[in-house]
């Protein structure tokens, strides 16, 4: 799976949220100052070329929809980061994540609960 540029990722976030959208819907999802219609059209074309989005044609209007689930995209992204920056070691990544992101005690406790639940699933 290819990666999206940061501007493509931002547009994809809006599309994931909306699930399907016409150009005007995507433009409305942006805060002011809104990007130009031509900019959005260019991004959508690039994202379609990368097989991230497709559209249904209604007369002259295109209704865009994502071809890739958000969870699939980001899990691939995270796995790539673990592989490329942490010697393919999830524990090195977890160590970095928990120390470098300045998590609160509550966030660390929540993370511990998530890990405990996953451990229980693996033991069954």
Residue with tokens 């070691």: 89
Q: What is the pLDDT of residues 78-124, one digit of tens each?
A: 777 788 888 888 888 888 878 888 888 898 888 888 888 888 888 88
pTM summary value? 0.70
Give the Cα separation of 57 and 62 in Å (integer).
5
Cis preceding linkage at 33, omega within 30: yes
**Is 77's pLDDT higher than 80?**
no
Q: What is the pLDDT of residues 20-51, one digit of tens each?
A: 999 999 999 999 999 999 999 999 999 999 99
The per-residue DSSP string of 13-51 comes to HHHHHHSSEEHHHHHHHSPSSPPPHHHHHHHHHHHHHTT
Q: How confident is the model at residue 9 (pLDDT cuts 50, 70, 90)?
A: very high
Quick one: tokens of 3? 């990666």
């Amino acid at each position: 799976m290819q990666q999206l540029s940061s501007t493509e990722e931002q547009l994809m976030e809006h599309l994931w949220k909306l699930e399907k959208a016409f150009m005007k819907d995507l433009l409305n999802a942006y805060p002011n100052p809104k990007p130009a219609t031509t900019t959005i059209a260019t991004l959508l074309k690039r994202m379609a070329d990368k097989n991230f989005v497709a559209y249904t044609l209604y007369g002259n209007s295109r209704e865009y929809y994502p071809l890739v689930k958000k969870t699939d995209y980001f899990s691939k992204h995270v796995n790539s980061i673990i592989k490329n920056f942490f010697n393919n070691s999830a524990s090195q990544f977890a160590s970095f994540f928990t120390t470098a992101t300045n998590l609160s005690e509550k966030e660390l406790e929540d993370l511990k609960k998530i890990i405990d639940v996953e451990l229980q699933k693996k033991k069954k």
